Amino acid sequence: MFEYAQAAVEGALAAGATYADARVVHAREERIDVQNDTVQALDRTEQAGVGVRALYGSSWGFFATPELTSRRARRAGERAAEIAKASALVPGPPLEFADVPLVDATYETPFQEDPFTVGLSDKVDLLLEVNRIVGAVDGIAIAQSGMTFWDTDKWFVSSQGHRIHQHLVESGGGFDATAVGEREIQRRSYPQSFGQFETGGYEVVRRWDFLGNAQRIAEEAAALLSADEMDERETALILESSQLALQIHESVGHAIELDRILGWEAAFAGTSHLELSRLGTHRYGSDLMNITADATLPGALGTFGYDDEGTAAQRVDIVKDGIWVGVLSGRDTAAIAGLPPGGMVRADGYNRLPMVRMTNVGLLPGDSSLEEIIADTKDGVYMATNRSWSIDDKRLNFQFGCEIAWEVKDGKLGRMLKNPTYTGITPQFWATLDRLAGEDEWVFWGTPNCGKGQPMQVAHTGHPASPARFSQVRVGVRA
């Protein structure tokens, strides 16, 4: 497949590009979705093609085709260069590319059990059994379960001499129980909303023990219908780790994307409250807050060998002892900011332009435990599993809804509460982080549906997190 990528690069250079890179991608996806006792979707998707990026002056062009022949690949390179020349009608400032080592390399996701060779009936039988257990609980109207697997090969070539082949395998799934009341709907999900996804094989599904958790999750969903509503007030908030993972994703992960900070996403996803001039001095949160972007974590969903510009995966400090110290970057954004490139540029398939994406942006664990945190809380609430998420275009003003909560009184979990929400402003919220569970409860949560860019691109990102407490948060906001 390298020959097609090479032909695309040569086509772009021959048409006047000063730099070009190309990716041939062959990707397979299998998605199974089961509702109650019916397989709603059993979808298999295969996507293959070549995408080429060309630089002309300070302007970029990108073209993609699904036709994998040397002639079409070369023509795709020429088209990319033509588009770059059209971009020059509305040109930007001179563009530099941060240097990275030229590599000729391969990378493969470590996995134990190829998810595409596990019998389809084994997968479907497991999901049907989960739904049977969930659906047998009084009050449950809908039992939903699913799995998705991805197997992706990428061949990358650049005009500077990169030549990289990667084979990435990602697996996961989950289930949820929905209880429908007269005027409301309550839902509980496992392992988290939308399921849990990791790099690896079918062992990911086996490890999360869907069957062992089905009864509990269903009973919680049914119980929520008769639970009390949460009062609106300010109080201590303890977050279960998957909800904290999404909090990190939205209020840190997107805010530290250097393309957003530079204004490149202004019209769609928005910008950032962060200003580069304050890198190294801006207080993002309390001293307990240590965030890294680490694309090398074994098993995490945002792990790979090289990004789609050919830069090696790496760990970058983002927040250290509460101070903002790092960003997510690629070769062009890093050059503008005068920073080393972070190897965080990825594309959603052969036909999308590589752009700055989160890798595994996570909160390093502390030294406590959820049990200790609850025991140490006189008055507060414990919220688990995301239900809704919303944040403004500078990643400041957020509001999250969770599936379930319990009040915490005098160090013990009390009443179950439904429709829990909390809201805040990013730096003020993180400043109240005062307890953090340790490595034993540190989970590499995966987000398989991070949207960004136009045309829309969906990225797979990871967010390590352990349960944490925030001392003073507004909770219980409702319509």
Partner 1 sequence: MSRASDLVDATLAKVPSGVDADVRASVGNLALTRFANGFIHQNVAEDSETLSLRVAVDGRVALATTTNTSTDGLDALVDSAIAAARLSPVDPDWPGPAPAAAVPGIEHFDPATADASPRERAERVRSFVDAGAGLLAAGYCETSGGEIVFANTAGQRAEGRSSQAILDGIHQTPTSAGSGHAAGASLASLDAGAVGSLAARRARESADPFDLKPGEYEVVLAPECVATIAVFMAFYGFNAKMHLEGRSFAEIGETQFDERFSIWDDVTDDRAMGVPFDAEGTPKRKVEFVSDGTTVGLAHDRRTARKAGTESTGHYGPGSESYGPFPTNVFVGGGDRSVDDLIAEVDRGLYVATFNYCRVLDPKSLSVTGLTRNGTFMIENGRITGAVTNLRFTQSFVAALAPGRVLGVGTDGRFADSEFGAGFIHAPSMRLAGWNFTGGASG
Q: Is residue 477 near partner 1 by the rule CB under 8 A?
A: yes
Q: Is residue 263 near partner 1 by the rule CB under 8 A?
A: yes
Q: Residue 478: exposed, middle, or buried by beta-carbon count in 10 A (0-12, 13-18, 19+)?
A: exposed
Pick the closer one to partner 1 by CB: 66 or 280. Answer: 66
What element of type H or E holds 425?
strand 421-425
DSSP state at residue 364: P
Buried residues in 338-353 as b, exposed as e (16+ CB within 10 A) = ebbbbbbbbbbbbbbb
Q: Residue 270 CB, nearest distance to partner 1 (Å)?
A: 8
Report the amino acid identity of residue 452.
K
Stretch that binds partner 1, among 178-186, 368-376, 409-417, 433-441 (CB under 8 A): 178-186
- Residue of the chain from 82, 151, 170, 441 that contacts partner 1 (CB under 8 A): 82
- In angstroms, the CA 315 to CA 447 distance is 19
Pick the closer one to partner 1 by CB: 156 or 398. Answer: 398
Site string for partner 1, 60-79 (x = CB under 8 A): xxxxxxxx-----------x
Ranges of beta strands (E only) in 36-128 are 38-56, 59-65, 104-108
Q: Is residue 94 near partner 1 by the rule CB under 8 A?
A: no
Q: Residue 420 CB, nearest distance to partner 1 (Å)?
A: 10
Give the Å distances, CA to CA, from 132 to 143, 190, 268.
8, 15, 42
Q: Is residue 309 near partner 1 by the rule CB under 8 A?
A: no
Pick the closer one to partner 1 by CB: 83 or 325. Answer: 83
**Are β-strands 142-158 and 185-190 bridged in parallel, bridged antiparallel, or unpaired?**
unpaired
- Residue of the chain from 207, 278, 412, 478 that contacts partner 1 (CB under 8 A): 478
Q: Residue 5 CB, nearest distance to partner 1 (Å)?
A: 16
- Residue of the chain from 102, 136, 266, 375 that contacts partner 1 (CB under 8 A): 266
CB 403 within 8 A of CB 217: no
Pick the closer one to partner 1 by CB: 81 or 164. Answer: 81
DSSP state at residue 78: H
Q: Residue 316 CB, nearest distance to partner 1 (Å)?
A: 23
Which residues make Cβ contacts (< 8 Å) with residue 240, sequence separation at least 6? 370, 382, 383, 384, 385, 467
Q: Is residue 48 near partner 1 by the rule CB under 8 A?
A: yes
Site string for partner 1, 115-134 (x = CB under 8 A): ----xxx--x---x------
Residues 24-43 that bind partner 1 (CB under 8 A): 33, 35, 37-43
Q: Is residue 155 near partner 1 by the rule CB under 8 A?
A: no
Pick the closer one to partner 1 by CB: 185 or 375. Answer: 185
- In angstroms, the CA 1 to CA 377 distance is 58
Residues 233-262 that bind partner 1 (CB under 8 A): 262
Which among 405, 415, 364 has a CA at the least distance from the CA of 240?
405
